[in-house]
Structure 1
């Protein structure tokens, strides 16, 4: 097996803890779309979010879907809105979401760069809020490539973003690992011909990710040792 020279990360649930970041944000987002808690709770059901418990369902469209897919899901329940207006509101609100790092990202990413890895982010979020979140964490400069679903490469589980990363850093796909918290991430990695690592800082359980991954870890802190063991 060849060495790993590049690592491509999902953002939400991988670099940032999904539940800690987005479950509190979702309640505020839904309240912004409606006039009362009852309306927010009803809209929550539409997108797989328990408003009372502040918890996403495992099959929620928010977990692995794109903002466009979330807007399309909400549209039938939002008279007077368009997909575009909902998407604009969603992206504006998402930029304000306080991100909770899955591990301290600056030392983690610095170590990978010092070991010569090329790094990227492939998210089903829009690119603009993704860049805002990475900038707030002070880690944008560690990445050679950042793409959202709207960056021209499509969204996961299709492999477009992943293949674009491989081309951008001039690495064969066999030397890249895709790291993510959802089956969308890992299916995209497999479709691109990359190795895949799952992490449990999203909402998917180990037994859901394991069939699609070369390894599954509690969080990304275990990744450097796994990479070092490849190609020996």
Structure 2
């Protein structure tokens, strides 16, 4: 088996704990958009978010969808709002969202870099808020590649972002692992010809991820040992 020389991470639910981060974002975002609390609850239902419980439902478009897909779900219920205006509000709220790291990211990512691994982020978030989140965590400089759905490579589950990372770091896809918390992440990894690791810091369960993954871990802290083992495989 070829060694792993590159690791491509999803962002929300992988580098950052999904529920701890995105549920607070959703509540603030819906309150900003809605005319009253009842309207906010209605908007939440359209994107699979229970506002009263502050909890996403399985299959929510927010879990693996792009901001554009979220906007399309909301627009019919926001008379007078434009797609562009809604995207601006969404990206502004996303950039402000407080991120909860799945593990302490600086030592974790620094350790991977010391092992000579090339690192990237492929997210269905927009690139600007994604970079704001990584900047706030003080880890942007540890990545060789950062792409959002609007970076010119498309969004997952299509493999465009993943293939762009392989090209950017000049590695064959067989030497890269895609790490994510959703089936979209792992489907993209399989489509690109990469190995895939699932993590349980999103909303998907082990049974949902396992059929698409080479391994499923509670969080990314188990990744370095797994990567080291691939070289021995």
**What interval of TM-score do these two structures reach, taking the shorter chain for normalisation?**
over 0.9
Deviations 1:177-222 (A, max 9, x none): 0000000000000000000000000000000000000000000000
Q: Distance in 2 between matches of 1:102 and 1:24?
A: 16
Q: 1:145 maps to what in 2?
A: 145
Q: 2:72 maps to what in 1?
A: 72
Aligned positions of 1:48-127 closer than 5 A: 48-127=48-127
Could you tell me how far 1:84 is from its partner in structure 2? 1.1
Could you tell me how far 1:231 is from its partner in structure 2? 2.5
- Does the alignment pair 1:8 with 2:8? yes
Could you tell me how far 1:171 is from its partner in structure 2? 0.2
Q: Distance in 1 between matches of 2:20 and 2:196?
A: 24
Q: How many pairs were matched up?
A: 232
Q: Distance in 2 between matches of 1:107 and 1:56?
A: 30
Aligned positions of 1:131-170 closer than 5 A: 131-170=131-170
Q: Distance in 1 between matches of 2:158 and 2:183?
A: 11
Q: What's the TM-score, normalizing by structure 2?
A: 0.99
Q: 1:26 maps to what in 2?
A: 26
Uncovered stretches (5+) of structure 1, i.e. residues with no partner: none
Moved more, 193-202 or 34-43: 34-43
Q: 2:224 maps to what in 1?
A: 224
Deviations 1:145-182 (A, max 9, x none): 00000000000000000000000000000000000000
Q: Distance in 2 between matches of 1:83 and 1:211?
A: 36
Q: Distance in 2 between matches of 1:38 and 1:154?
A: 35
Q: CA RMSD in A?
A: 0.5
Q: What's the TM-score, normalizing by structure 1?
A: 0.99
Q: 1:47 maps to what in 2?
A: 47
Could you tell me how far 1:85 is from its partner in structure 2? 1.1
Could you tell me how far 1:25 is from its partner in structure 2? 1.5
